[in-house]
Structure 1
Amino acid sequence: MNHRKLSAGETTGTYRITDTVTESELLSIAKAFARRRLAKGRKITQPALAFEYLQVLLQDYEHEVFSPLFLDSQHRVIRFEELFRGTIDSASVYPREVVKRALACNAAAVILVHNHPSGDPEPSDADRRITQRLKEALGLVEIRVIDHIVVGSQGCDSFAEQGYL
């Protein structure tokens, strides 16, 4: 982490703030750490481990975004990117485009991720329908959908944990 107001702490994974920081700077630091935790090559052993990073990155959007996490066969991150951007309460997601991007990344698996600007991460019926369509489309090209995570300021909901997958 290359930030002037942050230095490494005595224990691995800890940091000291060396100067006064604003709330905006703290959020920027948190987002930089979250992006680093979802960077290429990082292994995602349990989707729940990614929740806090995804929440930091997506909870403040005022519109819905759909951002898959493409993984290799060892569940290491290949790419995390915003594919679709919507309105305050919906985003159009096109299975064909998700499949094209997954194939371009040579993904073996994917964790689907989108946010709810309302703050409530409870999946909607539309969320469940598009997840099923994506699972079927990706399954045709042997790409597994491991989870679909809905991010809100009140937390994250996992389709896998709720038994929707």
Structure 2
Amino acid sequence: MDPVTVRPAELRWRWILEGDDAAPAAMDREAFVRHFVAWAGQHASSHRCMVLVRGAEVIGMAWPAVVHRVPTPHAPDRSSGDLQCVYVVPEARDAGLGGLLITETLARAEELGLERVTVHSSNRAVPAYARLGFESSPLLQAHVARTTPYP
């Protein structure tokens, strides 16, 4: 049997290690992969992983999270989305691939009928999101809890 690699977990690990201000990891890579696989299975109904693949290699990922919203008389079945963990490996950046990944993820969100999709962006990625139609809103507020050393 061929060895199996859980690519999203590998990319998530690489993303954390890439950050200059990242806190030390709470577990080693193998433990994280096991944890991540279990987490992805438990959250498959709310988090749908999208991957960017070149040849046989996964070079990017995005995790749209679907949140069910309180029904209204006009819209009894409502949902919104939060675009999480968008990552493209450094050697594939600045070629429009992140934009392609986000565009395809937004198309999936539209298929799901999501009312809106939000994202917590890095400073570097703000222009990319703006090019794809994301905009700041004074009506969308966030309370950021400071419970972990890394966002």
TM-score range, shorter chain: 0.3 to 0.5
* TM-score relative to the length of structure 1: 0.30
* TM-score relative to the length of structure 2: 0.32
